[in-house]
Amino acid sequence: MICEIVVYNIESAHKAQEGGADRIELCDNPLEGGTTPSYGFIEQVRKSLSIDVMVMIRPRGGDFHYTNYEYHSMVRDIEMCKRLSVDGVVFGLLTEDGRIDKGRCKKLIEASRPLQVTCHRAFDMTRDPYEALEDCIEVGFDRILTAGQRAKALEGSDLIAALIEKAAGRIKIMPGSGVNETTVETIVKKTHAREIHFSATTSRNSKMTFRNPSIAGMGDAEGSEFQVRTVDPERVRAMRKLAESASR
């Protein structure tokens, strides 16, 4: 069982490795669903981790239909990731009518090699998951991250199972979204997935002793700047144990 942990800061990356993750997906902006992290962030993580590092290539939040300017920024981000010696990249581009943008995906995949390439949950926004599966295989993606075109992987587990069967080993299918201690066993048993994607998120209090009582969130009273998002290594270990048990 391959366990991939999505992380949004350097501390989380270290905690994921400490907990026994096989690889991480490195992102920025969790509230946007993940965008491309900075080069400094990527470099420091790559230098300090021994596990595989996958990098999100997504120029903005929102939909997955990109302008030419956005597409070319993705090309440049991939070039930089290769220079920084990461193990893979994660992206997905769609046409206006909800299909995989095969032309531009194929070009980005070719530009990415020899790195691994994952199609992210743009797949879940396609009009026909079986058509999208064949398109992802045709253009050369190594795996698809999916919640079965639902908000959470448990809800979409029937479709994920069907996609894995249909793929027949031609591409890896990795369930993700809402994968936690209460859902991972059911997801793995229903889908027979051999890779799983989750966050194992926790938070810790800031180490700052001075806190301005008149401002929070850089503008209002509801901010969370004194809470730091991170990964719980014990949750990673527990999730791996549950996933491996369910896969037997």
All structural domains of the chain with their residue ranges: 2-201+233-247
- Asked whether the beta carbons of 89 and 78 are under 8 A apart, the reply is yes
The residue written with tokens 């096989």 in the block is: 22
* Tokens found for residue 143: 């795996």
**Domain at 2-201+233-247, CATH class:** alpha beta
* pLDDT per residue of the chain (248 residues) written in tens, 0 to 9: 999 999 999 999 999 999 999 999 999 999 999 999 999 999 999 999 999 999 999 999 999 999 999 999 999 999 999 999 999 999 999 999 999 999 999 999 999 999 999 999 999 999 999 999 999 999 999 999 999 999 999 999 999 999 999 999 999 999 999 999 999 999 999 999 999 999 999 999 989 898 887 776 665 555 677 889 999 999 999 999 999 999 98
* Tokens found for residue 6: 């999505």
- Asked whether the beta carbons of 30 and 224 are under 8 A apart, the reply is no
- Asked whether the beta carbons of 31 and 60 are under 8 A apart, the reply is no
Sheet architecture: strand order including 88-91? 172-175, 143-146, 116-119, 88-91, 52-56, 23-26, 2-7, 195-198
